[in-house]
Structure 1
Amino acid sequence: MIAKDKTILPAIETVLKTGNEQFIFDGEKLPLNVLSFWSWSSSELLGNALRGILAEFIVASTIDQLHSPREEWDAYDLKTKNGLKIEIKSSSYLQSWEQAELSKIIFGIQPTHENRINPTEQIRQSNIYIFCVLAHKDKNSVNPLDLSQWDFYILETSILNMKVKNQKSITLSSLEKLNPIKIKYDNLESEIIRLEEKILN
């Protein structure tokens, strides 16, 4: 039996957009651009999905990686210029919808396949995890753009692998038992650099 040749479709490189890119139809520009799409689709920063992307942006801003657009399907979320791989997770006590009580802080930590075409053993792909908590608890004044309202917990992936192995999620209280480094935004860069030097050298 002759095996059929498999054609692998290459990845499409993401190009950083400015927001001024126009929608077109039949070669004619429409009065719509990417900025109007962003404003329409991405204004609810408290939502679970977009808050996670916002957390990635916040961390990327501390390691000079905003020139590289976010890739949806990367095996990890960020990589420093020197090669430290970072996984970002976020959670919040407050949601945009009506709540009977504060949300529980919980993070996904499930190991994943590195290669989507040829799946291998599931592992955690990054060197470190940064758990980002929008810690503010007052709905009248919560503001995801106020970075003083965020807490950041940094933990080496090797500790997760040793302590919780194939566990798929972890609560904040369980995470704290693993002695992560808890910091605010102004110390993120220096702590990432410290761990970069420790892990990669």
Structure 2
Amino acid sequence: MKPSASGPLSPLPMPALRGDEPIAGVPDATVVDFWRFAMPDLRVNNTLGLFAEFLVHQAVGSRGPRVEWASHDVETDDGLRIEVKAGAYLQAWEQRVPSQIRFSGLRACTWSSESGYAQTKSYNADVYVFAVQTSREHAVYDPLDTAQWEFYVLPRPAIAALNVDSISLSTVRAAVGPPVSFAALNDCIRSADPRPATDGG
């Protein structure tokens, strides 16, 4: 894409929102009111996925914000790229039985402002984290309780060897073994890092 005569339309950095910012022209409305409107229920699949990404972001101590168009979900301060997939047995709607958990979108087309979307799908993260909200009873369901989450971690070579776009929880378990808790997640992600070790000396 050829830049215009005035140059490329490069976005400016935006300050992080606190939630109490007023919305001009809308009486008594703030950003937190928008958040409550847009994401009122963490059980909704898209929102649950974002929350799982946030948990991984917190576990690894990442300081960067989420980038919507990035080829991966979380990036550590030293450049480790992490893809996060989330699943749950319970949904925001009425169910006859708990959901069968399956993770999709393991491969995706990368995007750049210069060339748009890539022609082929690829595995674009170094480490893949599969996060499962484990509650099977709505009466005790609490996505804000990390004790109700379990995590499975696979390095990119293991995912690439499977050569799939989606994967069932049972297949993940067969490949990984027992899950890890939130407290152990950072160490597990670091242990799965497939990047060549660098000489720190």
TM superposition score normalised by structure 1? 0.86
Match status 1:63 vs 2:70 = no
Cα deviation, 1:68-96, whole Å, max 9, x if unaligned, reads 32221111001111111000000000012
Amino acid at match of 2:72: Y
Matched residue count: 191
Identical-residue share of aligned pairs (%): 26
Residue 32 of structure 1 pairs with residue 24 of structure 2 = no
What is the rounded CA distance, in whole Å, between the counterparts of 1:13 and 1:104 in structure 2? 41
1:101/1:181 CA distance change after superposition, 3 Å: closer
1:178 equivalent among 175, 183, 197: 175
What's 1:190 paired with? 187
Q: Deviations over 1:82-134 (max 9, x none)?
A: 11100000000001211000000100133122224423332111001000000
| Structure 1 portions without partners, runs of 5+ | none
2:43 corresponds to 1:42: no
Q: CA RMSD in A?
A: 2.1
1:52 alignment partner, one of 49, 55, 70? 49
Q: Normalized against structure 2, the TM-score is what?
A: 0.86
Flag the structure with higher strand content: 1
Tell me what 2:84 maps to. 88
Correspondence 1:98 to 2:94: yes
Q: Distance in 2 between matches of 1:199 and 1:182?
A: 22
Question: 4+ residue stretches of structure 1 with deviation over 6 A?
Answer: none
Instruction: After superposing the two structures, state which structure 1 stretch, 169-178 or 88-97, moved more.
Output: 169-178
Aligned mates of 1:193, 1:143 — CA distance in 2: 27
